[in-house]
Structure 1
C-alpha cells in the first residue's frame, strides 16, 4: 500500500529529529525500515540556502535521507520571483547557459567532495544508498544548459549527471512548459530527440513542468520509464488557465497514471514515479520506492 505524505513536511520533520539514524525515521507495518530519498532537492550558492550554511551531508543525516537528487536549476540566472510566481526576465545568449552550467557543476562537485558524498553513477550506487550509504544523484532542472551543442548531453553524462528535467521557466527549443505561452504544441523534434538520447545514455528523464501535450510526446518517444519529480496531481487540472502558480503546475491524474503505468509495464515493480507536493498529502511512491528508482535507473542504463 502506498504511503501518503507531503515530501517537504517529511524532510522538515526529519530535520527536527537531529542526528537520528537514517534508517530509523520510517517503518512499515511489518516493522521493516523504509529508506528515504528526495527526488528533487535544491542548494544554491547564493542567498540564505547555501551549502556553506547548510552542508548537504549534515542535512541529509538529520532528515534520514540516504539518496538525494541535487537539482541544479539550469535557467536560474534568467528567472526571478514575481507575484505570479517565477518568471523569465532575460534570455541566455548563445553559449551562456552551457557555460553557466559547467561552472555551477564544478561548485556542486566541489561541495560533494568536501562532504565526502558519492555521486550515483549506476544502479549499484542506488543499492548502496538504499542500504544506508549516503549518495547524491546529479540532476538538472531545465535542459536549457544544452544550448545548441550536440555534445553537451554526453558531457553532462560523463560528469555524472543521471537525471534531466526537460523544461522549467524559460522559453526554449525543446517544448512547452506549464506556466509559459504555448509555442510548440508539446515537444519539438529536438525535444523528443533529447528524450531518446537520454534513454540511450542512461539518464532519467523528468517531465515536471511539461505541458500535457509535452508529456504525451515524451511518453510516446521514451523507451524506458520517466518521472515527474515535483508538482501536484489533480483530476481536474486547469493548467495554464489558472493564475495560481501551483495550480498551473498540476499534473492531470490521467497522465500521472500513464507515467506510473509506463513504469509498471517496464518490469520495474510496483513503483509510482511521481513526487507530488500540493495542498493535500500526495503520493510519492510505494513503500520501498527508492528500490523502484534503482530499477528505473537499471532499465535506463546503456545497453
Structure 2
C-alpha cells in the first residue's frame, strides 16, 4: 500500500532533486496537498525503517574526589590517666567491636584513684554504722537529736566522696563490676585496659609500647566506615547544581556508587566547586582520605540532533539524508 506524504504538514521529506524523476509531472502542489509514494520510490529515496532503541545513560566526565568521613563517625581514643603504654592489643586497619580491649596502660595515677575509692568506701561504711548507733541511742533517750543530725550529714558527705571516686574510675575505663569489687575491699589493679566504646576500624595509632603519655593524650583513632562521603572538585561552569538533583556518581575502578547531596557555594582559586555525595553502595571498598576518580552520569535523555523521529506503521522512520515525520494513510485519503 503506498504511503501518503504531506509536505509541510504531517510529512516533511528532505530529498535530493532527483525526486522529480520518479514522480508524475504535475502542477505545483499546494502546501497541504497529498501525493502518493510507492514502496519502490521509498526504497530508491533511501527511506529506511529502524526501531528506536532505549537511549543509554551518558557516561559523563571523571573528576577527582576525596573520600571523607561524615561528622560524628570518627572518634579519638584518649589516655584516661597518665602512665606508660604497656601493650598494644590492636593494629591499624583492624576492625574492632564495642568493648574490645585496645591497649594496656601501667599508671601510678590509676593506683591512687583506686586507693581513693577504697578510703571513701571505708569511710562511707563507717559513717553508716555510726549513724545507726546514734539513732539507737536517740531512741533510748541517751543522746540529743543534734548528734543524729550530725551523723546523717557525715554519712551523706562520705557517700558523695565514694560516688565521686567511682565516677573517676568509670572515666578511666573501669567496668562497673571491677569498681564494685574495689569498693568492697578487693585487690587494687596496677594497670588499666582501654576499650573501644563503639565498633569501627582503627585508622591510626599514635603511640608505641613503652611510651609515656599524659592524661587526655591521643592514643588511637577509630571510625565507623558504614557511611562515607565524596567531595568532588568540579569546574564551576559545569553547573553542578543541576547534577546534584538528577545525576548518579560512579567511582572509576571500584564497584561503588554515590548520590549527590549538596553543592558548595564558594568557588575556589582553581575555579572549582565542591559537589558532596553520599556513597550508597561499595563503601567497604573505599578508605577515608584517599583520592579517587568519580564519573558523574547524567540520566538518560532522548537523542538530540537535527534528526526527528516519529512513529509510522508501528516503527520509527528515518531518511539517510534527513529525518522525516510520516503518517500511515490509504491512497485517496
TM-score range, shorter chain: under 0.3
Q: Flag the structure with higher helix content.
A: 1
TM-score (norm 2): 0.15
Structure showing greater radius of gyration is 2
Q: Which has the higher contact order (CA 8 A, sep 6+)?
A: 2
TM-score (norm 1): 0.16
Q: Flag the structure with higher strand content.
A: 2
